[in-house]
Structure 1
């Protein structure tokens, strides 16, 4: 268990503010936030690369606040990989071994296993400048894991890769987490990556934790407009509703917001263009299409209903077959279970 209690880290122009986090042992935990929110700084504080100003950091029952990074039994993989350009892949992987008391036999066994898992055997004599992004990332992972850390910190591990390599690495990370039984802590700005990989997480904004919980809770039960927007809700409305249509959603849902001037939110992908015979579980609505925004295989369909706009996300096939186009009045359906209030 990693426990951060009231952790502050003050830098010129930015600070981490009173961070409280509990990360279960062997969990895949994600810290989510936009660029500049303090995600990477939080990783460096956990690793001991940036000394905290106040607060405590515990691993299980051990206070590690003043422990040097090399004694914390952690590995870190940076967004830019941080490989040594003058060293071969093999030399990079083995670099950290010299600073730890690991028997040559154990090192050899771990090296062979990781090289096979990471598909690096044909690259061992190459230098980083000749590698692809995916090859660099796998080399950096092997360098961290050969030390068998109890905790692996991942700084935006997917952001420097193209989409196909991202998919490959996501499956690799999931497999490595299962096999090594290590606590993985990943920072990311991409919620779809986190949905696939992580079990629990935290949302960070301007150096402060906005919300913690399971990934399912962050996705389905946001506690603020920021969390709702960051996890993909494009339809966020301040209440009390000036729109009769929104007021009807509140009546149908039966869940009042936590505050008098709370919020209602709907995920675009949960809005239906037909009720699929489930009339009793949906609120039937209608509006005029004002814009279609292509998202590849999907369209964002922007609909004007009385005083507010709403965005639905439907497949390109449905939009074409149903002849959905700007200026047309269309019916749509909001499942009661998809109405979020906070």
Structure 2
């Protein structure tokens, strides 16, 4: 549907380097990466706001690399929604129509449908200044969708919203994607949003694609230390195998970790690692557990993340783990610094890369 072939874009202090992406029709594609990695820059390149130095962009098998912005049939919605404060809601929604050859009857049919679908009927004559973040988001989407674009680009569409509106807006974006069946690329920093909305995606770092594919694969099967750390896999250890057993080291000792399977690695190319997501580790009763990996440890630190706790534990053999548990565990398991606990995890959640 949208295909990027070897896209290069250079600035004095930054560049997009050999970007290759193949985004399918009706995908909700999430583009994630650290601040300053080039996510929004890539979005604007696809939209035609920035010219490429090398490479090709294809939209529905048509080369649009050198096409004008208004000829691409691509809509972009920014995180601040970029609405015009001197225009009312109706005028904002209809603003882009005058730059496209759309029959007036078709415009009004689309306008009525969007106003009804997006729940804007009561505010179409209002000014922009006193609208809520959620209302502004819906207006920005209506302005984009009235042009019936082939591709919708969303640049941090939820980051400007207050927490009270965030979940409602996330549900709304999912509804829009499902009802309009429009191919969407979203830039986001919020993993919860990405996991809920996206079906495929890519991680970008310093202008380079580090990993791409199904969202579940990116989060559960990272291909490098960087991607593993970026998606929140804290328990990362170099490992080696000996007689079909897997070992990590701590304080000079070999400690066995049971995996379902390990990928084949060329040790000459890179040191293989394993990773265990902290939320996949359970505090357990050692006498009532069938996990293949069970450890004794002492709590070193407890950090609060809202309704969750990050419990840092050092095992008897000096291996350090981070465990994420619900806050209620503090009471139910009487968690405190220096308390000795038993924890474990099954072999199928240990990932190798």
> What is the TM-score with the length of structure 2 in the denominator?
0.92
3-state DSSP class of the match of 1:130?
Answer: coil
The C-alpha deviation readout for 1:14-57, integer Å capped at 9, x for no partner, is: 11000000000111111111111100000111010000110111
Does residue 287 of the first structure (1) align with residue 297 of the second (2)?
Answer: yes
Task: Give the drift of 1:275.
Answer: 6.4
3-state DSSP class of the match of 2:193?
Answer: helix
Query: How many residues get paired?
Result: 341
Aligned to 1:247: 255
Aligned to 2:245: none
In 1, the alpha carbon distance for the partners of 2:310 and 2:66 equals 50
In 2, the alpha carbon distance for the partners of 1:319 and 1:256 equals 37
**Larger % of helix: which?**
1
In 2, the alpha carbon distance for the partners of 1:341 and 1:246 equals 18
Task: Give the drift of 1:154.
Answer: 0.3
Task: Give the drift of 1:279.
Answer: 3.7
3-state DSSP class of the match of 1:310?
Answer: strand
- Summarize the alignment of residues 230-269 of structure 1 with structure 2, pairs less than 5 Å apart: 230-240=230-240, 241-243=248-250, 247-249=255-257, 251-255=258-262, 258-260=265-267, 261-269=271-279
3-state DSSP class of the match of 2:37?
Answer: coil
- Summarize the alignment of residues 150-299 of structure 1 with structure 2, pairs less than 5 Å apart: 150-240=150-240, 241-243=248-250, 247-249=255-257, 251-255=258-262, 258-260=265-267, 261-274=271-284, 279-299=289-309
Does residue 336 of the first structure (1) align with residue 315 of the second (2)?
Answer: no
In 2, the alpha carbon distance for the partners of 1:246 and 1:298 equals 32
CA contact (8 A) 1:275 1:282 kept: no
3-state DSSP class of the match of 1:222?
Answer: coil
Aligned to 1:65: 65
CA contact (8 A) 2:286 2:342 kept: no
> What is the TM-score with the length of structure 1 in the denominator?
0.95
The C-alpha deviation readout for 1:104-151, integer Å capped at 9, x for no partner, is: 222112111211222222222222222221111111111000111110
The C-alpha deviation readout for 1:207-252, integer Å capped at 9, x for no partner, is: 1000001001101110011111121212222345322887311x45
- Out of 320, 328, 332, the residue aligned to residue 309 of structure 1 is 320
